[in-house]
Structure 1
């Protein structure tokens, strides 16, 4: 008996003969439960009606024009944004962060109730719909029957496919060299942390030696280390999509013989001359696969890296912790917390390299978290055992 969740809806009962009730498998990358009530929506559906139904928990299965569905989604988003509670001037940074996350979660839930139906070959049979079969196969794997997904999720799948095709240029790897992120794998669009790893002085023991890249994602830092002369880089990740992505990028860059990708353990077997870790920067719970690259509940990965480092370094080796201080500006972690964790793990800070972010959100004064983002510094902490 299948345990795959489903949604159920009734077609237009005014048709003669009446169309029977239908069902389809339900899929959500954020693990949202299937909606209990689903109604059919099309080009005649008004934005106000769609917004009200979605706020009440009713999902709308779209059967009209694809571009009109996108317009409806934007109209619903505008209504949500207009009704959003303004930031409280007396709120602490941590309170502002949690209020912002709550508002973003509400927005995602409401917009996620506009659904589309993928056919049993991943095709989308809507007027003016793009061919999404390749994008869906990359994200979901081979087709396994009809499935309903939110339009917001499908648009993310389409966008991820475009990024995968185009790639992200990484100057630290050479002029015109690109890393190609997969769906569900955090894209290296913020190059400042990559530049830190590219310019930090290598420990004397690491020349031509062995390195670990923990939480490799796309494999970009493993590639940088290999290009810097490390003869064997072992890249780890907990995510199956990241493992495939990192292997493909290493092969595309001609580094498959020097970059070994493995998982799901944080640390591989053995010791290394250099261990690099760029853990998620914010100690909060992710709500989707992609958010796992940003949010680390209770700093689990950070503490796992620190507590395991001394036991995985060769004599003369170093650990590099690449970490933003955004959590400190948001009141989610203090600098004392970080330094205490480093000391408790039996480690010593030998140096620290800092850089400021260059992404547009750091300059967006309308962002509720602007003051924290504007003050953010990303650091590479050079750590050695006591």
Structure 2
């Protein structure tokens, strides 16, 4: 990891820099505390200067909220359903993340946060980052994400289709949108139920549903080491570790299966961080790869299940014809589809710039077989 350097108390200081978003270390740093005014902090951050916080923890959060309000004044407003509108909003969110990410805090040798009224973040940081490798600087926005993710991990997410809770790890997409899990739980199964593949398993929630539906063995894959650890943890918690083989990092395992399932990222756009890989698929490359290789991994009479939202179509990022052409070019035919509507709270949030698209969104499970 690179280091950052700054002057404090007539002394030049240096510490390791860490960013899950792969943000470069700031070149200019000033020390800030409770006397820092929001207008000055916002101006400095927009100019590329990072603020190393030395004041009260809660005041740092208040300052960040004030900076966020100033950024939001330049929001593009409601989206019009075009791809250009979507990309304009993505650029704005990227700018907002860069500005707010310039408010920094220091973590000690044991991940302790030595600010007045600060919470104990050590356990959350160990869960997210692993054993400490010494003091480091992180953005306050990243640290708040680590704290929130740890709370999700401890509490878990109730999954009605399992009658149990799934515990997402930091950096792993959480199954808070349960409608796609419900689709998998009610889709008609192929005749043979020996082996299933769950590609890009994430938390392992779909692998667990498949075992509960009667598959003797499920091979769950992912390219993310964090996801692999998370899926193993959830399989163990659910008492299914003997029937779920978590392997990787890879997308496709060796061999063939009676059922191959994939819930790829739904939006063909460039992620701005590793944490967005569960949502954004650059140029639809993962979707194309999955469809191209489905047939080679299906047993005779087997099916490939693709779980996909039409949000990309409603945002002008992909057409339905492009999707069906990909399916046909891969030598697959559509056996049937199951549709559902989203139930998450953003559907009713009229302030969301993509409210209209989210309101009309349909999530489908495409049942595919070799042509």
Into which bin does the TM-score normalised by the smaller protein fall? over 0.9
Structure 2 residue 253 is matched with structure 1 residue 262: no
**2:302 corresponding residue in structure 1:** 317
The answer on 1:106 being equivalent to 2:91 is: no
Q: How many angstroms apart in 1 are the aligned matches of 2:63 and 2:49? A: 15
Tell me the SS of whatever aligns to 1:202: coil
Give secondary structure in 2 for the equivalent of 1:172: coil
1:91-120 CA-to-partner distances (Å, cap 9, x unmatched) read: 552111111111111110000000000011
Q: Is the 8 A contact 1:96 1:369 kept in 2?
A: no
In 2, Cα distance between the equivalents of 1:221 and 1:87?
A: 34
In structure 1, the partner of 2:363 is: 378
Determine if the alignment matches structure 1 residue 220 to structure 2 residue 211.
Answer: no
Q: 1:301 Cα deviation (Å)?
A: 1.3
Give TM-score scaled by structure 2 length.
0.98
SS of aligned partner of 2:73: helix
The separation in 2 between residues aligned to 1:298 and 1:211, in whole angstroms, is 27
Q: How big is each residue's C-alpha offset from its partner over 1:341-363, in whole Å with a ceiling of 9 and x where there is no partner?
A: 00000000010000000111122
Paired position in structure 1 for 2:126:
137
Q: How many angstroms apart in 1 are the aligned matches of 2:247 and 2:11?
A: 49
Establish whether residue 68 from structure 1 lines up as the match of residue 63 from structure 2.
no
- Checking the alignment, whether the CA contact within 8 Å between 1:6 and 1:25 is kept in structure 2 is yes
CA contact under 8 A between 2:268 and 2:282: conserved in structure 1? yes
Query: What are the residue-to-residue correspondences of 1:256-335 with 2, within 5 Å?
Result: 256-335=241-320
For 2:4, the equivalent position in structure 1 comes to 7
The answer as to whether partners of 1:347 and 1:384 remain within 8 angstroms in 2 is yes
CA contact (8 A) 1:96 1:368 kept: no
- Whether 2:264 is the aligned partner of 1:241: answer no
Unaligned 5+ residue runs, structure 1? 13-18
In the TM superposition, what is the alpha-carbon distance from 1:85 to its structure 2 partner?
Answer: 3.8
Q: Which residue of 2 aligns with 1:55?
A: 46
Q: How far, CA to CA, are the matches of 1:310 and 1:83 in structure 2?
A: 48
Contact 2:76/2:88 (8 A) holds in 1: no
Shift of 1:372: 1.2
Q: SS of the counterpart of 1:320?
A: strand
| CA displacement at 1:87 relative to structure 2 | 4.3
Distance 1:291 1:34 in 2: 20
Taking the TM superposition and a 5 Å limit, the aligned residue runs for 1:111-130 are 111-130=100-119
Query: How large is the Cα RMSD of the aligned pairs?
Result: 1.0
Paired positions, count: 371
Contact 1:62 1:116 in 2 (8 A): yes
Give the equivalent residue in structure 1 for 2:171.
184
**1:199-255 Cα shifts (integer Å, max 9, x gaps):** 00101122xx10000000000000000011101000000000000000000000000
Measure the CA separation in 2 of the matches of 1:140 and 1:39: 26
8 Å Cα contact 1:323/1:380 also seen in 2: yes
User: Taking structure 1 as the reference length, what is the TM-score of the superposition?
Assistant: 0.95
Name the structure 2 match of 1:158: 147
Partners of 1:56 and 1:87 in 2: how far apart?
27
Return the alpha-carbon distance in structure 1 between the equivalents of residues 87 and 216 of structure 2: 44
Other-structure match for 1:94: 83
Give 5+ residue unaligned stretches, structure 2: none
Distance 2:304 2:197 in 1: 9
Write out the 4+ residue segments of structure 1 that deviate beyond 2 Å after TM superposition.
83-88
Cα distance in 2, alignment partners of residues 294 and 318 from structure 1: 24
